[in-house]
Chains A and B, each alone.
Chain A
Amino acid sequence: MQRRRLLLQIGFAAVLLSLLALLINNLAVNLIRTGLGVSFSWLQRPAGFALAEHVLPYSPSDSYAWALAVGWFNSLKVILAGLVLSTLLGVGAGAARSSGNRLLRNLAGAYVALIRQVPLLLQLLFWYFVAFLGLPNTPAAGLIHFSNQGIRLLGLPLSVEFCSVLTGLTVFTGASIAEIVRGGINSVPRGQWEAYRSLGLADGLGLRRIVLPQALPAILPALTSQYLNLAKNSTLAIAVGYADLYAVSDTTITQTGRAIEGFLLLLLSFLLLNLLISGGMAAFNGAVLGRLRSSR
C-alpha cells in the first residue's frame, strides 16, 4: 500500500514536470523563431506615454521601469482605500442585516442581493459613465466639491477615474464582506445578546464590545479572501481608464512587444501585493486567535 502511494506520487510529479518542460520548450522555440530573447534592458528606455494621474512624480521622458512603478503605486492607492472603505461598508451592512430595525435590515439585504447579481465590470462602467461623468461640470468651490471633472474632498483632489474604481470596488466587495460579517455575528450564541442586554447595555455597544470580538475568528479567514479579491479585481480599472499597474503594463507591452517580460513583472507585482495583504491578515488572525487561546 505504501509503495503504491509512492509510485502514484512519482507518477503525478512526472506528469507535472513534463507539462512544465513542454511549456518552457514551446516558449523557447517561439522566442528563437521571432528572434526575441528574454531581456529586461528595455525597462531603461523612456516610456514616452503620459499618465493621467500619479502618486509619484512622472513625465513621459521617464523610463518604462518608473512608469510601471507609478502604476504599481496607483494600484496600491486604490486598493488600500478600497480595503478600508469596503470593510467599513461591509461591517455596517452586515451588522444592519442582523439588526432589530426592519427598514435597516431590508435595505442592507437589498443592497447585498442587488450588488451580488451584477458583474463587477458593469458596475465599474456604471459608476464611471452614469454616476461620475453624469455629474454637472461646475467650477471648483468649497472644501467638498463634486463635478464631472473630478472630486474634491476636504481639499484633496481625486480624479473621476479613481473615484469610479474606488466606489465600484468598495460597493462590490462591501456586499460580500457584509455576508461574511453577518455569518460571523450569527455564529455568536444568542445568550451573549441576552447577557449584555440584561445589563442595560445598548445594542451598538454590545455589538462592538461583546458580539464582534467573538465573531472575528469566524470572519477573518473569509475576509482575507475578499481582500485578495479586491486587490485582483482592481485590474478592471483599465475599463474606465484609471492608470493602475495593469493599465500601464498593457500600454508598455503594446509599445515594446515585450509580452513575456511584461506579464512576468505583472504577475510578480501582484504576487508581492497579495503576499503583503495575506501576510498582514495572517498576523492579525494570529493575534486574535492568540488572545482567544489565552482566555481558554
Chain B
Amino acid sequence: MTIAIRATDLVKSYTPGLRALDRVSLKVTSGEVLVVMGPSGSGKSTLIRTFNGLETLDGGKLDVLGVRLDAAHEERQVRAIRKRVGMVFQQFNLFPHLSIVDNISLAPIKVQKRSKAEADQRAIELLDQMGIREQARKYPAQLSGGQQQRVAIARALALDPEVMLFDEPTSALDPERVKEVLDAMRQLAQGGMTMVVVTHEIGFAREVADRVMFMDQGQVVETSEPQAFFSNAREERSRKFLNQLLD
C-alpha cells in the first residue's frame, strides 16, 4: 500500500499565539477515503488546503504524492502537485465568465497542453458521468447549486488527479440538492479515488469513509473506523460534537 499523503507535526498560525493547526499528524493511503469532521474553526479546512499548497505551513513535515510541501517548498513544486491533486470548494468557485465546458477544459488545455477538441470531448464525458451533459453550453449562473458543484467536481477530475480534496462540498447547497453531489462523490470513491473530505454529512461518512478523523482547536482528537466513531467514539470531545450534530 503506498502512502498518498504523510503529514508530521504540521503547525499553522494566522495570529501569533493561536494555532490553526497544532502538531497535526496523519497518513492517507492510496485508494483510501478519509473524512475529516470537527466544529467550525477546528482547522479542518486549513488542513486540507495545505495538501495542495493553498495554505503555507509554519512548521512540520508534509509529503504529498512524494513531493515535499512543507515550509521549505518551492513554487514550482506546488504547481506540479496541483496538477495531480484536485480540489472542490464549498462555494464551487466556478469561473462565471466561461461556459461549463470551458470551465472544465481550460486547465487541461493550458496545463497539460491538450488540444481543445480533445479537452472538450473529455469535458463532455465527465459531465455525462456527473449526469449533467445537457448543461455543457450554459454558464455557471444558469445552473442550480448542486449542478454547479458537480461541474466543479468534473473540472477537478479533468486533470486526472491521483487525490481529490473536498472542502465542505455540500455546506452551501439547498438540502434537496445535497444528495446529487454526495452520489457523485460516492461513485468516485467506488472507482478507487483517494479522497480527503471535510464534511458534516454523517450518512456519507458512515457509508463511504474508510476512516473518520475528528479535529478540535487545531488538533487531531481521534481517528477511527466510521462504525466505531459514530456508535462509540473514544473521546469525550468527539461524543459531545456528535450529540450536537444529531440534535
Is B54 touching A197 in the complex (CB atoms < 8 A)? yes
Q: Which of B89, B94, B97, B107 contacts A200 (CB 8 A)?
A: B107
Closest approach, in angstroms, between the C-beta of A215 and any C-beta of chain B?
A: 10
* Residues of chain B contacted by A189 (CB below 8 angstroms): 93
Is A200 touching B141 in the complex (CB atoms < 8 A)? no
Does B139 sit at the interface, judged by CB under 8 A? yes
Q: Which of A192, A201, A292, A294 contacts B107 (CB 8 A)?
A: A201
Given contacts A191-B89, A198-B82, A201-B111, contact A291 B106 (CB under 8 A): no
Interface of A (DSSP majority class): helix
* Residues of chain B contacted by A205 (CB below 8 angstroms): 110
Is B79 touching A195 in the complex (CB atoms < 8 A)? no
Tell me which of A116-124, A152-160, A206-214, A227-235 binds B: A206-214
Closest approach, in angstroms, between the C-beta of B24 and any C-beta of chain A?
A: 20
Is A296 touching B141 in the complex (CB atoms < 8 A)? yes
* Range of interface residues on A (Cβ < 8 Å): 20 to 34
* Residues of chain B contacted by A292 (CB below 8 angstroms): 97
* Residues of chain B contacted by A201 (CB below 8 angstroms): 106-107, 110-111
Given contacts A191-B91, A213-B97, A295-B139, contact A198 B110 (CB under 8 A): no
Is A200 touching B93 in the complex (CB atoms < 8 A)? no
1/0 per residue, CB under 8 A from B, across A183-201: the answer is: 0000001011011111111
Does A202 sit at the interface, judged by CB under 8 A? yes
In A95-113, which residues have CB < 8 Å from any B CB? Answer: none
Does B41 sit at the interface, judged by CB under 8 A? no
Does B10 sit at the interface, judged by CB under 8 A? no
* Residues of chain B contacted by A199 (CB below 8 angstroms): 82, 106-107, 111, 155-156, 159
Is B141 touching A198 in the complex (CB atoms < 8 A)? no
Closest approach, in angstroms, between the C-beta of B168 and any C-beta of chain A?
A: 13
Is B91 touching A294 in the complex (CB atoms < 8 A)? no
Please measure, in the bound complex, the distance between the C-alpha atom of A201 and the C-alpha atom of B95, giving whole angstroms.
13
1/0 per residue, CB under 8 A from A, across B32-72: the answer is: 00000000000000000000111000000000000000000
Q: Which of A191, A196, A197, A294 contacts B139 (CB 8 A)?
A: A294
Is B95 touching A192 in the complex (CB atoms < 8 A)? yes
Does B144 sit at the interface, judged by CB under 8 A? no
1/0 per residue, CB under 8 A from A, across B134-155: the answer is: 0000011110000000000001
| A-B contacts, 23 listed (Cβ < 8 Å) | A191-B91, A194-B93, A195-B89, A197-B53, A197-B54, A198-B82, A198-B87, A198-B156, A199-B107, A199-B111, A199-B155, A199-B156, A200-B82, A200-B83, A200-B159, A202-B79, A205-B110, A209-B106, A210-B95, A213-B97, A295-B97, A295-B139, A295-B141
Q: Using CB atoms and an 8 Å cutoff, list the residues of chain A in contact with chain B.
A: 189, 191-192, 194-202, 205, 209-210, 213-214, 291-292, 294-296
Besides the known contacts A196-B95, A199-B155, A295-B139, 19 further A-B residue pairs in the complex with CB atoms under 8 A apart:
A189-B93, A192-B95, A194-B54, A194-B89, A195-B93, A195-B94, A195-B95, A197-B82, A198-B82, A198-B89, A199-B82, A200-B82, A200-B83, A200-B107, A201-B106, A292-B97, A295-B96, A296-B141, A296-B142
Q: Using CB atoms and an 8 Å cutoff, list the residues of chain B in contact with chain A.
A: 52-54, 79-80, 82-83, 85-87, 89, 91, 93-97, 99, 106-107, 110-111, 139-142, 155-156, 159
